[in-house]
Amino acid sequence: MDVDHIRELVMLADCGSFSEAAARLFIAQSSLSKHIRAMEKELGAPLFDRTTRSLALSEAGRAYLPYARKIASLSMESEIALDDLKRRSATSLTIAVMQNPQYYGMAKYITGFHQAYPELTFSMVEADEPVLYDMFRKRAVNVFPAYSNFAGAGDYTFMPMVASSMVALLRQDHPGAAAGRVSLAALGRERLLLPTRGGSLSSLTLAAFRREGVTPQVVYEGSSIGCIDLVKAGMGVSLHAREFAAALAEDEEVCCAELDPPISFTYGLGHRPPAELTHAEQLYLSYMMQFEMK
């Protein structure tokens, strides 16, 4: 007997209506009627007493329904168990990477993981923070790079890996370049160029200005490289993670300056509970835990 038909029988018994049961099962009412008739023929007895106004279980239907419920329940449990087994034994992995994975040592960690587990096959997907979080929310990835203060925090467990801070990127002829330090109050009079609209670092920066009672003049929120090009063109000042600024050490057109007061943050991984991860994801998370910030 078709287990799906048994599930349909249970739904029909609970709804007491072919139209409602068919709607909940997302099948045509005619298909549901056909399946019930096929079951009745196989069992050799009518399962429902039908009239033009009502539908009720027959004596045979009342006797069979408890067993139908058990069969439907056991079938669902077995499917869940098999899906869980497939998930746990999976040897493939999608590694989420935030833009510029060389920062914070992430590229080094991923390379180390691949060398430690060469039997695993994995692919990498790179995106900015809001996109990665949306992928996590939709379960396209279950472990992803994150900042501790991201707006989605609470939906996942955060594992801190690196403590860092923001710096200002200035043209070499900017007044703050020689001092090597610039205040947020002074930057409030500048055009501000920020990376990644809606990202943690952008939100963190704007919150720091608010604490100083400063309303910054944000004229651009976009790619990191775009920010640098605009700084060089004299279009404003940009604030970035220290690791990004360090990559510009040999650029003679821009320099970095410390912020007063400093804007600090923590970078790491967001993840679901280990029990919800595949075997490969558990290995990845376990490997990364050795670099967890204590």
Indicate the burial class of 170 (C-beta count within 10 angstroms; 0-12, 13-18, 19 or more): buried
- Output the pLDDT for position 238: 92
Q: Which two tokens stand for residue 94?
A: 């999608």
Predicted confidence at residue 105, as pLDDT, reads 83
What pLDDT is attached to residue 36?
Answer: 93
Residue in 124, 129, 123, 234 with CA at minimum distance from that of residue 177: 234
Query: What pLDDT, on a 0 to 100 scale, did the predictor assign at position 130?
Result: 82
Burial of 85 (0-12, 13-18, 19+ CB in 10 A): exposed
Please state the rounded mean pLDDT for residues 99-121.
Answer: 86
How much is the pLDDT for 249?
61
Higher pLDDT, residue 171 or 246: 171
Is residue 146 within 8 Å of residue 116, measured between CB atoms?
no
Q: Please determine, for residue 226, whether its predicted confidence score (pLDDT) is greater than 90.
A: no
- What confidence score (pLDDT) does residue 273 get? 92
Domain borders along the chain are 3-88, 90-294
Average pLDDT rounded to a whole number, residues 281-290? 93
Q: Quick one: tokens of 187?
A: 């930057």
3-88 maps to which CATH number?
1.10.10.10
pLDDT at 77 over 90: no
High-pLDDT (> 70) share of the chain, %: 94
279 pLDDT band, cuts 50/70/90, is: confident
| Alpha-carbon dihedral 127, 131, 136, 138, rounded to 10 degrees | -130
Query: Chain-wide mean pLDDT for the chain?
Result: 87
Query: What one-character-per-residue DSSP string does the chain give?
Result: --HHHHHHHHHHHHH--HHHHHHHHTS-HHHHHHHHHHHHHHHTS-SEEE-SS-EEE-HHHHHHHHHHHHHHHHHHHHHHHHHHHHHHT--EEEEEEESSTTGGGHHHHHHHHHHH-TT-EEEEEEE-HHHHHHHHHTTS-SEEEEETT-TTTTSSEEEEEEEEEEEEEEETTSHHHHHTEEEHHHHTTSEEEEESTTSHHHHHHHHHHHHTT---EEEEEE-HHHHHHHHHTTS-EEEEEHHHHHTTTT-SSEEEEEEES--EEEEEEEE--GGGS-HHHHHHHHHHHTT---
Determine contact, residues 260/184, Cβ cutoff 8 Å.
yes
Residue range 30-58: mean pLDDT, rounded = 90
Higher per-residue confidence, 278 vs 99? 278
User: Taking the CB of residue 75, how many other CB atoms lie within 10 A of it?
Assistant: 14
pTM for the model stands at 0.64
What φ, ψ does residue 75 adopt, rounded to 5°? -65, -45
Mean pLDDT on 131-148 = 88
What's the whole-number mean pLDDT along residues 123-152?
A: 84
pLDDT grade, residue 44 (50/70/90)? very high
Q: Mean per-residue pLDDT for 257-280? A: 91
Higher pLDDT, 41 or 1: 41
C-alpha pair distances (Å), 160 with each of 49, 95, 149, 268: 63, 17, 11, 4
**Class of the CATH-defined domain 90-294:** alpha beta
Higher pLDDT, 144 or 87: 144
* Residues 150-206 pLDDT 10s: 555 568 899 999 999 999 999 988 888 888 899 999 999 999 998 877 778 888 899
